[in-house]
Amino acid sequence: MTLVTEVYKVIEHFPLEEKYGLRSQITRCAVSIPSNIAEGSSRSSIKEFSYYLDVANGSCFELETQLLIASELFKLDNNELVEKCQQLQRMITGFKQTLK
């Protein structure tokens, strides 16, 4: 959830015309990460939880890509956020492996 907060702080610097474009897409996938982890944790089987972890990880990769696109388009330094996405991807993958 910390990553979501940091993403919201960064997108404040996006052009207003991106409100319904990249800005919206970035916030939706950022919020999707902890939401899917939370939803998956409520499931009754490890198989279901694992599925939601995969969805969360997919959203994390999507977020990373969108942050890289935003860096190019708006000349923003998102390296720290990109690194945090990559760290979260490794954490989700590692956690998923412990469930097996």
CATH number of the domain residue 53 falls in: 1.20.1440.60
In total, how many domains does the chain have? 1
With contact defined as beta carbons under 8 Å apart, do 88 and 33 qualify? yes
For helices 22-41 and 2-11, what crossing angle results, to 10°?
170
Which candidate, 35, 30, 34, 36, places its Cα nearest to that of 82? 30
- Here the tokens at position 81 are 């956020």
pLDDT tens digits for 4-57?
Answer: 999 999 888 888 888 889 999 999 999 999 999 999 999 999 999 999 999 999
Whole domain around residue 56: which residue ranges?
Answer: 2-99
